[in-house]
Amino acid sequence: MSQSPHLRGSRTTATDYGWRSRRTDLSGARMCGVGDYAVLPLALVIGCRACHAAPTQGPSAPVLVAGSAGSIPLTLTAPSGIEIKGRQFKVIPVEVAKGAWPYQRGTLAGDKAVWVYGTLINYVIGLEASPDATMLLQDLTEADVIKLTTYSGRAVLFRYSGRQWVTVDKTDVFRQMRPGLTLVLLGERAMIGWCLGQLSGGR
């Protein structure tokens, strides 16, 4: 096994447009470090691959989990779809290279989401920050169950547990040390991380 060096992605600085209005729109969200991200350089991924491009190692890659009983086929754990408040999204894997999440605004259809390949403990799934998707996530409550379906048809259920504003370089929300699901709005100047606890592992 080898791992690419964790380099910073390409960066640029964007003008500070509209973030205050978004704060107002999402007033229900618990905001963390708002003052910080207002002055941080904003990160945009440039020259990235289209989200629909096949990853160099997709679900056909056989092993990410190995134990004394052998390895587990990735098809059992890799997500193929997600259902949020009755809305279905097809999940497309994308592979992060050198820390850059390949994404271009406007390339992700409304019924598609992207899964950061290899995030099998804390599933990291991105939705394009359209008004619909933003509203969908904003309306989540603790009563909502989110269903993630794997390529083998296994369902894993999660329950909404909270959300927060984070700066674009706050990547500890992607840590793989606890089971969960983190939904990310893509294309915003700051991310809303929706951290969810696992409701059921399914069988």
Partner 1 sequence: MPPILVRPLPTPTPPGPVQQIVTADLRVSYDANDNSAADPGEGVVGLPVRVYDDVTGALLAQGFTDDSGRAVVSVAAAGPIRVVVPYLSFETTVPSGGATIPVLISPRDLPDQIP
Q: Which residues bind partner 1 (CB under 8 A)?
A: 1-4, 6-9, 11, 43-45, 48, 63-69, 72, 76-77, 95-103, 116-121, 124, 126, 150, 152, 154, 156, 166, 168-171, 174, 176-179, 184, 186-188, 190-191, 198, 201-203
Residue 164 C-beta: closest distance to partner 1, Å: 13
Q: For residue 101, give the nearest of 122, 120, 66, 128 by alpha carbon.
A: 128
Instruction: Decide whether 95 or 133 has the Cβ nearer to partner 1.
Output: 95
Instruction: Decide whether 86 or 174 has the Cβ nearer to partner 1.
Output: 174
Residue 7 C-beta: closest distance to partner 1, Å: 8
C-beta atoms surrounding 102 within 10 Å = 20
Instruction: Decide whether 95 or 136 has the Cβ nearer to partner 1.
Output: 95
Instruction: Decide whether 31 or 86 has the Cβ nearer to partner 1.
Output: 31
Residue 97 in contact with residue 156, Cβ under 8 Å?
no
d(CA 30, CA 165): 7
Residue 198 C-beta: closest distance to partner 1, Å: 7
Instruction: Decide whether 86 or 203 has the Cβ nearer to partner 1.
Output: 203
Residues 20-25: contacts with CB under 8 Å, at least 24 apart? 22/188, 22/189, 25/134
Residue 119 C-beta: closest distance to partner 1, Å: 7
Residue 47 C-beta: closest distance to partner 1, Å: 12
CA angle (79, 84, 86) in 5-degree steps: 115
Q: 119: which residues sit within 8 A by CB, 6+ positions away? A: 174, 176
d(CA 174, CA 183): 10
